[in-house]
Amino acid sequence: YSFQYIVAEIFNGNEYAFKFFNSFAIYFLLYIVIIRICTSLKLNRYIPIFALFFLFFNTNIIGISMHIVRQIMATAIMIFLLVFIM
């Protein structure tokens, strides 16, 4: 709740900016994780591209409602931290 409150205060309650920032933050963290995993496993250079397309065009993430945003943000942060700790 505190993260959402701080972001809402930064954007002065602008709903569209709030949704855009949250979506950007989630996708950016997951993008970094995908690139990190693919480089550490020394996968083919096309696999990260496929993984990014799968992530970006996944209707479950695109069609999320705003009450689930904090769970997805927490999941993105946890995956990010797990990958960088390993």
Distance CA 70, CA 3 (A): 9
Give yes or no for a contact between 7 and 19, defined as CB atoms under 8 angstroms apart. no
pLDDT truncated to tens, each residue of the chain (86 aa)? 677 788 778 888 787 887 788 778 888 888 888 888 888 888 888 888 888 777 777 655 555 555 677 777 777 888 888 888 76
Kindly report the length of the chain. 86
What pLDDT is attached to residue 81? Answer: 85
What pLDDT is attached to residue 31? Answer: 85
What pLDDT is attached to residue 71? Answer: 73
In terms of Cβ atoms closer than 10 Å to its own Cβ (0-12, 13-18, 19+), residue 40 is: exposed
Q: What does R_g of the chain's alpha carbons equal in angstroms? A: 14
Residue 54: count other Cβ atoms within 10 Å of its Cβ: 10
What pLDDT is attached to residue 14? Answer: 81
What pLDDT is attached to residue 1? Answer: 63
